[in-house]
Amino acid sequence: NVRTYLNRVKMINDNYEIIDANILNIGIDLDLKLDPSSDKNSALSAIRELLFEKMSLDLPRIGENISIGKIIQKINQIVTPKVESVKAVKIIIKTGEGYSDTTYNIASNTLSDGSEIYLPQNMIWELKSSGDITGKIS
């Protein structure tokens, strides 16, 4: 269906490559230090919701790497509760019911400084829900 539609609307010199992508469901595990004036009891759930909302507005493309720096940047944009510092961000693979069965070795495909996780050109990562964001607050 996509090919038929594109053949009708494309220009003569236009080329489209249609790729079947493997979906890699991820989770994010956070270790955060809050501003002393923030309420630690409700902070994690608020941060999870706000971070998921920000991540949902900036969806990845097929073959796009997972950037830890972009995740930290989105965390730092959260105004309330205020995060004083991001101690660690860890990406985990989510599996089981409701998730894809795609597996991937994160450790061997992470840049040496831990700032980016490389993905193959036929893979796209997905953060399904705010419940896939976990962590601890100090």
Segment 22-61, tens digit of pLDDT: 999 999 999 999 998 888 889 999 999 999 999 999 999 9
- For the whole model, what pTM was predicted? 0.85
Helices 40-56 and 68-76: crossing angle in degrees, nearest 10, is 120
Query: What residues have CB less than 8 Å from 51, skipping those under 6 apart?
Result: 28, 71, 74, 75, 78, 130, 133
Residue 113: which pLDDT band, with cuts at 50, 70 and 90? very high
* Residue 6 pLDDT greater than 80, yes or no: no
Q: Return the pLDDT at 40.
A: 87
- Across 94-109, b (16+ Cβ under 10 Å) vs e yields beeeebeebebebeee
Residue 28: strand, helix, or coil: strand
pLDDT digit string, tens, across residues 60-94: 999 999 999 999 999 999 999 999 999 999 999 99
